[in-house]
Amino acid sequence: MTRKLFGTDGVRGTANTYPMTAEMALRLGAAAGRYFRTDGRNRHRVVIGKDTRLSGYMLETALTAGLTSTGMNVLLLGPVPTPAVGFLTRSMRADLGIMISASHNPAHDNGIKFFGPDGFKLSDEAELSIEAIVEGEIVPARPENIGRAKRIDDGIGRYVEYAKTTFPAKGRLSGLKVVIDCANGAAYKAAPQVLWELGAEVVPVGVEPDGLNINARCGSTFTRTAAEAVVAHGADLGICLDGDADRVMILDETGHVADGDQIMALLADRWSREGRLRGGALVATVMSNLGLERFVTGRGLRLERTAVGDRYVVERMREGGFNLGGEQSGHIVMTDFATTGDGLIAGLQFLATMAETGRPASELVRQFETVPQMLKNVRFAAGQEPLSDPAVRAAISDAEARLDGAGRLLIRKSGTEPLIRVMAEAEDEALLAQVVDDIVGAVERAV
């Protein structure tokens, strides 16, 4: 069966247009309820979290209606980070967890992500089963078996206390000044609170959500605002989260940005030396820089590559028994601590290294020299298939021939937006720019 609703990270789209409509959210909730409530009893529960988008109210209400209509009891967490939903699904013995968020996307988008009772995102097979139920007739519960819904006031508090436990027991952040950019998103309360309670002097950025400013000129996809704050306040570190706080970018005291590859390199090296890196491997996607691969193999470790998407990183980690993985975009997955990427906890691990070594962030964010990499995106309209165009295929074939042995090429559809992503790596920057521009030009002509 072909996936129609679900992409690489749940269901996503522009709010109030298909599939991000109240009607579809209601059907998704009812289908998920029917999928998980198989015994007709009323003890089943689902936790729902959301980020700060205006459309979250609409989707939360519709999902609740669909879930209760099939007999699920709903626990509403309000705005919490995505990793908090994974944690609380398992902690509160829920059958299902749902996060309403479009992550790093702008405010006019939204999405719905599902977590199983173990706190991990649902498998492709489970999502396909829910899609099949959506397309059929959904049988509602009997009137006496309709579910209940209630708000949970201490969801953030539970997550805050748990996040603090992931920092070394005897460690404190006293004497460190930290800029935390919450992207006007889901972590705007939790992240500053965790850092302050651990002893840091906190400079909060992006903590005034209004429903429309999530990820707007702030957060992990726009680090300039936090970089300016780091320099202006003389901070030791900047931590930039995205809208649902499952991604992170780290800024040193000069405002220099370390992406997910550099953070993974630091943690892999440290954990390996401490005997904490399980399986002798780091799991990353095909997007991670060739420099990371050279760094890892140079230390006698392996780099396991997966398809793009943190869910595929997590699947490989679980299959192989690995405990560290992630994406260049800032998803850092540490299964010792969380079931999905957790930007705040990744930031705490970086801070723990600073505190334990006494080294400044500028010495820790540059773990390896990156191989020149270029990524360009081309937007396409619904119904278009630019990668099937003969001219585009010819441009890709020509680029592969020119890069043979001298670089790497990756062309793919985004799983979260209508974009063709064109990425290449090569030591020869002139060749790199030329092959990327040739392919981008061919795609632009095709669309």
Residues 22 and 90 in one domain: yes
139: DSSP letter: P
Supply φ then ψ for residue 400, to 5 degrees. Answer: -60, -40
pLDDT band at 406 (very low <50, low <70, confident <90, very high): confident
The token duo for 23 is: 């009607």
Query: 90, 122, 153: which is the final residue of a domain?
Result: 153
Residue 2: predicted pLDDT: 65
Q: Is residue 6 part of a domain?
A: no
259 lies in the same domain as 324:
yes
- pLDDT one-digit tens code per residue, 132-191: 999 999 999 999 999 999 999 999 999 999 999 999 977 789 999 999 999 999 999 999
Domain that includes residue 46, residue range: 11-153
Domain boundary, last residue among 153, 177, 205: 153
Domains: count for the chain? 3
Those residues with Cβ within 8 angstroms of residue 357's Cβ, 6 or more apart along the chain or in another chain: 364
pLDDT of 41 reads: 73
User: What sign for the dihedral angle of Cα 111, 117, 119, 122?
Assistant: negative
103 is catalytic: yes
**Are residue 353 and residue 379 in the same domain, yes or no?**
no
Domain shared by 220 and 323, yes or no? yes
Q: What pLDDT score was predicted for residue 415?
A: 74
Catalytic residue among 103, 272, 288, 329: 103
Distance, CA of 380 to CA of 224 (rounded, Å): 28
pLDDT at 97 over 70: yes
Give me the chain's average pLDDT, please: 95
Same-domain pairing of 111 and 36: yes
User: Which of 316, 346, 370 is at the close of a domain?
Assistant: 370
CATH number at residue 186: 3.40.120.10
- Residue 268 in any domain: the answer is yes
Which sign, positive or negative, has the C-alpha torsion 438, 441, 446, 447? positive
Strands (E) in 281-406, as ranges, are 281-285, 302-306, 324-326, 332-334, 373-379
Looking at the fold, whether 351 and 378 belong to one and the same domain comes out as: no
* 132 shares its domain with 162: no
Residue 19 preceded by cis peptide, ω within 30: yes
Give 193-222 pLDDT, tens digit per residue: 999 999 999 999 999 999 999 999 999 999
Are 164 and 58 in a shared domain?
Answer: no
In terms of domains, do 253 and 348 share one?
yes
Residue 2 counted as domain residue:
no
Cα atoms in the 13 Å half-sphere on the side-chain side of 417: 13
pTM for the whole structure: 0.91
